[in-house]
Chain A
Amino acid sequence: MSETKEIRTQERAASPATAASEEKKAALVPPVDIYENENGIVLLADMPGVSKDGLDIQVDKDVLTIKGAIAQQIPEDAKPLYVEFSGPGRYERAFTIGPDVDIDKIEASMKAGVVRLFLPKAEHSKPHKIEVKVA
């Protein structure tokens, strides 16, 4: 009986330390596709395991940061047999954006583990045709 108690306290003591080391471990880097059309930039990122609530998108000055926490339900008594996908349980990737992006109008959506961002261009930086006068 006393043995079980000891193990439990050890576990409890160990958990904050593991949480801290989890935090330190480099996050998974999601693969992205980036396209541009005349209205703005389209960014798609693969982040399986992230739901809408776990997604965190920030713009700080000219840096766009995409973060996502993996919320995967795994039974408590499950033991891994074979692992290809492993890591600290979160994704992070940042990009530098230019002054041509209207950061107030960035749109984000999430579907089946794929994040879709649309970074609209500010009105003044949209392409406009220049009329060439024939003299």
Chain B
Amino acid sequence: MLSPWLAVSDPAWSQLEELSREMQKLFGLYAPSGNIRGVVKGTFPPVNVAETPEKVIAYIYAPGIDPEKLELTMEKNLLTISAGRDTAAEVGENTDPAGYYRRERFSGTFKRVISLPESVDPSKTEATYQAGILTVSIAKKEEQRSRKIAVNIS
């Protein structure tokens, strides 16, 4: 005999199930959640990727990082960023970091690998760090850029 739980058809149960599924989706626990390198919400630092006809740009929202300690590598189309920050050290000399009320900011080291479109040319990468946003722009390979084609009228 089937477990009585499996045979339940009360609409209240299915609503609960749906709610639970929605919650799992919300927290990124529901499979399949996309790319294998995808992350759950709230991962530090969040990353956005955009493209223009000439280049691919990755924006990494990582405030309070020492640019000297930032490591950035490009291997084929994989962009790797690793850095860290110690929020307890940021507090200042005359404050005991143990005396906190809230500690919501990320502290520690991170490493993220971002898979970019294969059209990028890793040898043409530029990076800037401003107002806590790391912007990495990678030129697309010449032959993979979209170009306008003139139509000849005969």
Tell me, yes or no, whether A binds B.
Answer: yes
Residue B62 at the chain A interface, CB threshold 8 Å: yes
Q: Which of A79, A84, A112 contacts B131 (CB 8 A)?
A: A112
Known: A80-B48, A85-B61. A36 touches B101 (CB 8 A): yes
Task: For the complex, count residues of B whose C-beta is within 8 A of A.
Answer: 40
Interface residues of B in 77-103 (CB under 8 A from A): 87, 90-92, 94-97, 99-103
Q: How far is the CA of A72 from the CA of B51 in the complex (A)?
A: 16
State whether A32 touches B64 (Cβ < 8 A): no
Across-interface contacts of B61 in A (CB, < 8 A):
48-49, 85, 113
Interface residues of B in 29-66 (CB under 8 A from A): 39, 41, 43, 46-53, 56-57, 59, 61-65
Q: Which of B63, B95, B104 contacts A35 (CB 8 A)?
A: B95
State whether B47 touches A82 (Cβ < 8 A): yes
Q: How far is the CA of A113 from the CA of B63 in the complex (A)?
A: 5
Minimum Cβ distance to chain A for residue B88 (Å): 9
Known: A82-B47, A85-B48, A112-B64. A35 touches B99 (CB 8 A): yes
Say which size band chain A's interface belongs to: 35 or more
Q: How far is the CA of A46 from the CA of B85 in the complex (A)?
A: 12
Across-interface contacts of A46 in B (CB, < 8 A):
63-64, 105-106, 132
Known: A33-B87, A48-B132. A84 touches B46 (CB 8 A): yes
Known: A49-B132, A85-B46. A33 touches B51 (CB 8 A): no
Residue B117 at the chain A interface, CB threshold 8 Å: yes
State whether B59 touches A39 (Cβ < 8 A): no
Residues of A within 8 A of B (CB): 31-37, 39, 42, 44-51, 71-72, 74-75, 77-86, 111-114
